[in-house]
Amino acid sequence: MLILMGGVLPVQQAFAVSSDHKQLLQRADSLLSHYKDTEALRVYEEVLSLSSDNYEALCKASLLHNRIGDRYADDTRKLQHFNKAKDYALRAYVLNAADAESNYMMALTLAHIALMSGPKQRLTLTREIKSYLDAALACDAFHAGAWHLLGRWQYKMANLNFAEVAASKLFLGDAPADVSTKEAVTSMQKAIEYNPQNIRYYFDLASIYREIKDRDNCISVLERALTLNLETKEELELSRRCKIMLDEQLR
């Protein structure tokens, strides 16, 4: 039997609680798979109100707060969601620091917060992001999201301007990580290999090729992106941007 609030919870009631959690998670997963993010988040948080240490719900709630927060133009609303995402990610990480998903959620959340931070905090967070990504990929070498975020991290670090390099030396006491755009391309390619249906990965890889003047590869990636089956408004917007970029490259 389970002990709860100083009393005894009958076995059949414990099974009922467990069954309720399972049904709620199944409902939330279904909503998530149908791109109903707000509704799915509400159900995951309902699970957490009943079981605060449910690892799956913590990871999914963190993911959805990141995703929803990224849609807002208002920084205050963004940060509210990102801070909530961080809280859930931290709780998941405490529960299972050796799992890819908790490490990825930490990296993703910190990446969003870093974009809204001042130079010193952004540099500190950038270093933390890399450590979580390394841990995520050590746990699961096929984690497409971690490869994508690593590719973005590598491209940023490979293309820091003079002021950012100087700030790193000033605030952190050392030079930024020695990475290359080629490494960023490789990471993005792995993200696409492990999840070939995510148009964001194609758009970001094509953007890198455009920046380094690799026209042929840029066109190839964009053409592949435009063959994907799309569901959400965000995907359709990315497809529109891919089409614009492709037209520019073909001129």
Q: Please tell me what DSSP assigns to residue 176.
A: P
**What's the rounded mean pLDDT across residues 65-79?**
95
pLDDT in the model for residue 166: 62
Q: How far apart are CA 89 and CA 63, in angstroms?
A: 8
First and final C-alpha spacing in the chain:
72
Q: What angle do CA 102, 42, 87 make, to 5 degrees?
A: 35
Cα dihedral angle (51, 52, 57, 59), rounded to 10 degrees?
-160
Strands 7-9 and 2-4: antiparallel
DSSP reduced 3-state for 2: strand
Q: How far apart are CA 134 and CA 103, in angstroms?
A: 9
Nearest to 178 by CA among 161, 162, 154: 154
Instruction: Please list, in sequence order, all residues whose beta carbon lies within 8 angstroms of the beta carbon of residue 210, skipping any fewer than 6 positions away.
Output: 218, 245, 249
Q: What is the mean pLDDT of the chain?
A: 89
Nearest to 19 by CA among 47, 61, 55, 38: 47
pLDDT in the model for residue 127: 86
pLDDT at 73 over 70: yes
Nearest to 210 by CA among 197, 201, 219, 200: 219
**What's the rounded mean pLDDT across residues 185-214?**
98
Report field, pTM of the whole predicted structure over 0.85: yes
pLDDT in the model for residue 17: 47
Tens digits of residue pLDDT in 119-169: 778 888 888 999 999 999 999 999 999 999 999 999 999 998 766 666 665
Q: How far apart are CA 185 and CA 249, in angstroms?
A: 18
Instruction: Using pLDDT thresholds of 50, 70 and 90, give the confidence band for residue 199.
Output: very high
Of all helices (H) and strands (E), which one includes residue 25?
A: helix 11-33
Tens digits of residue pLDDT in 2-37: 334 444 444 444 444 466 788 999 999 999 999 999
Strand partners, 7: 4
CA 131 to mean position of chain CA atoms: 15
